[in-house]
Structure 1
Amino acid sequence: MKIKTYVVDNLAEAYPLIFRDLGKEAIILKSKPTKAPGFFGVFRRRKLEVVAAAELSEQAQVSPTAVDMSASVAANPLINEGNQAEHLSSTNASQDVLLKELAEMKGLIQSMTKASVQSQTIPKPLEGWVAHLRDQEVDEEVIQFIVKKFAMGNQPVEEMSNEEVQETLLHIIEQLFDEGIAKETEPNASFITLVGPTGVGKTTTIAKLAAARVLHGKQRVGLLTTDTYRIAAVEQLKTYGNILNVPLEVVASPEDLPAATENLKGCKVFFMDSAGRNYLEEGYVQEISDFLGYDAEQENYLVLSMTTRWRDMKKITEKMKAVPIDKLILTKWDETTCYGPALNMVYHYPYPLTYLCTGQGVPQDIIHANPAEMAKKLVGVER
């Protein structure tokens, strides 16, 4: 078995390196937060140390004795066909046993790794809070990071009052959110596209962003939509465009983009609404990528809904990794009581969070992501 260690920003960055070095059958033995060297010991960035392993190559998996036996059988004319078949059968059986043992070892390592993560000692004062975070769908790696941050504090957790534990928890979670929130929310690009699965509210979010530019920024805005699959989506965006006195162009294919932008000549910024479809459909991600190949200064936002379960949100994000994503928007913040997926997203993925959508109102129900307020929501502290 071959074992390698990687120091990366997040797990998503580690996967291609592991697959390149160890193959797609590799497994992750453990991962833990670490710090990259900084400038004179300061400005150290939080990194992730990932240990991965893979079984021996197919050639190495075959017992040397078995290979020698097969070769000698093939070369020895004194061994008749019956004996040769018997020898080869015995060799194949040995290989099957070896492969089975390796598979069992792999399963054992995976189960041991999972058990070790879940069985790490949780200090008594944190037990209730850890249960709360799990109920909020905060994933286990993030929880273990939070627990370790407590352990690194100046005061033992067991000596802290309930109020001190709560304040420290708030501070740690606020820091995590702050590291994953975009400091510059106003895009500099002239061509802004929203991508994401169906039903997350991309069209309404586009209207909110465009309205803010028109009403507060006094800018000339143009709207584009590639969502020719849903007539209602086109009509909805057209309605918003009429209210804001903003022109709209429907784009059926990537080849139509130059003509569409020419028709919107004079606009300072373009907002493009992409088609919302089942993200599992073959070709959907490629179709989005084709539209994003337009020659312009672009900024692309991944839009996800807070009403989506974390495991599904993770699958969507993994599927969309092939698309050039710059930032993240979370919608339906007002429609959930489960805020853990937001923390998981900023912890695991390199897409800075910019906006939270808090309702259907245009343009008022969109706010800049605020780490302190998001931490309070997750911990359950009233304003």
Structure 2
Amino acid sequence: MKVKKYLAPSMTEAMKRIRVELGSEAVILSSKAVYKGGFLGLFKKRNIEVIAAIDPVSAPLQTVTKQKKKKLPSVPQLESQVPYADESGGNAELLKEIEGLKDMINRIQINSSDRKYPELLQKPSDYLTEQEVDPSLRSKIMDELLEKWFASKQRSTVEEVQGWLEESMLAILDQVENGKPGLQKKYINIVGPTGVGKTTTLAKVAAETMLKHDLKVAFITTDTYRIAAIDQLKTYAKILNVPIEVAYNLEDFKRATERFSHYDYVFIDTAGRNFRNPQYVKDLNDIIHFTEEMETYLVLSLTSKQKDMEDIYRQFAAIPIKQVIFTKADETSTFGAIFNFIYTHKLGAAYITNGQNVPDDMEIATSSQLLKMALEAKKYERSS
């Protein structure tokens, strides 16, 4: 058996190198974290040291077998006893590690369409799948868990694995600024496709600004395509006792902003139309004067398909989007789309809404709140 040691910045990178040099039939014998470099003992870089092996005698037979199978495990089952000698003349300690890791490795099978993990890790993998986390992101998270699993010498508990999962998911959310809606500009613009709840969301944010911060607010609506939309915002304006202007064109919009020049915040409601039509965004630019004094928030419904969310974002990319507001959290049990979107576009979330009540049914979308909502939507059971 040929045994080789690899040093890589991550388990994922090590696995890539092993597959290239030793092939998909290679066996992982051990792995551990090592620290290299640094200056005077400081600033050392963390790497992963992996020892892998391949039996050159059986390799040709395994290659022939590959051609007959549609699905192949990249990590084969170990025989009960594997005689070998490494390139340095043998290592008795590795023999013990092989025996100790044999049962665990036999449960790990990786091929082009499926991936299975040790029992304690399989549960979080299934959970991420159920939450519709993108396969590439799910693989990244599971690689991190697998790396920690190896480092713990497979002695971790259910609670520790759960903690690892939460840490990895939180790290994804913390790549951007969540839960800190700026409202640093005077004009707050809400955009998004039809049916995502823009008008209700705008009313919620305006009500929170008024009631919690005692500030003067006003409404401008450019949604002149639907009479019901104008009536809805007028109803909210009457309840909150705030003024409202309807802008049919850019001149109307400029006059409305002049009228509300002495207000603290002006909330702008836009038309909800088919996001696949590029004319929609062009119409926004024709009606709304986007200035340095404006913050724009994109509203996305969590009941939308992931692909639709991506298409919506690309359509509105021509407008400077500050953050996202996720709506209809009460109408779904899967929250993977939040992680997928934030991870892909590096754009944070400001609020998340979970109902129609104004000003209630809205929470500031901190990273911890988003994680809590995802974990509790379809409860991740700690028991094995």
User: What TM-score, normalized by structure 1, do the two folds share?
Assistant: 0.65
147-156 or 367-376, which deviates more: 147-156
| Shift, 1:135, TM fit | 1.9
CA distance in 2, matches of 1:117, 1:225: 51
Measured after TM superposition, the shift of residue 265 of structure 1 is 3.6
The match for 1:255 is 251
**Where do 1:151-300 residues align within 5 Å?**
151-153=146-148, 155-156=151-152, 158-182=154-178, 184-300=180-296
CA-to-aligned-CA distance 1:266-293 (integer Å, 9 cap, x gap): 2111110111011012411222244454
Percent of aligned positions that are identical = 36
- Once the two structures are TM-superposed, the CA of residue 229 in structure 1 deviates from its matched residue by 0.5
Contact residue 128 and residue 336 of structure 2 kept, 8 A: yes
Greater Cα shift, 159-168 or 133-142: 159-168
Deviation at 1:121, TM superposition (A): 6.3
Letter in 2 for 1:189: K
Aligned with 1:132 (options 127, 132, 138): 127
Q: Would the aligned equivalents of 1:151 and 1:157 in 2 still touch at CA under 8 Å?
A: no
Q: Is the 8 A contact 1:357 1:365 kept in 2?
A: yes
Q: Is the 8 A contact 1:376 1:382 kept in 2?
A: no
Partner of 1:331: 327
Pick aligned residue for 2:368 from 366, 372, 376: 372
Q: How many residue pairs were aligned?
A: 273
**TM-score between the two structures when normalised by the length of structure 2:** 0.65
Distance 1:215 1:376 in 2: 26
Q: Between 290-299 and 320-329, report the one with greater CA deviation.
A: 290-299
In the alignment, which of 339, 346, 355 is matched to residue 359 of structure 1?
355
5+ unaligned residues in a row in structure 1: which ranges? 1-39, 43-114
Alignment deviations for residues 313-360 of structure 1 (CA, whole Å, 9 cap, x no partner) = 122222222221111100111111011101111111132111111211
**Aligned counterparts of 1:168 and 1:332: Cα–Cα separation in 2:** 28
CA RMSD of aligned residues (A): 2.6
Q: 1:254 and 1:260, CA in 2 relative to 1: closer, same or farther beyond 3 A?
A: same
Q: Distance in 1 between matches of 2:330 and 2:166?
A: 20
For 2:153 and 2:145, locate their aligned partners in 1 and report how far apart those are by CA, in whole Å.
7
Deviation of the 1:223 alpha carbon: 0.4
- Asked if the contact 2:179/2:364 (under 8 Å) is kept, the reply is no
Runs of 4+ residues over 6 Å off in structure 1: none
Between structures 1 and 2, the one with greater helix share: 1
Which stretch of the first structure deviates more once superposed, 319-328 or 123-132? 123-132
Deviation for aligned residue 1:361 = 0.9
> CA-to-partner distance for each residue in 1:63-109, whole Å, 9 max, x for gaps?
xxxxxxxxxxxxxxxxxxxxxxxxxxxxxxxxxxxxxxxxxxxxxxx
Q: Is the 8 A contact 2:179 2:351 kept in 1?
A: no
Contact 1:138 1:343 in 2 (8 A): yes
Native 8 Å contact 2:121 2:145 kept in 1: no
String of CA shifts for 1:86-142, please: whole Å, max 9, x gaps.
xxxxxxxxxxxxxxxxxxxxxxxxxxxxx9775566454322322221221110121
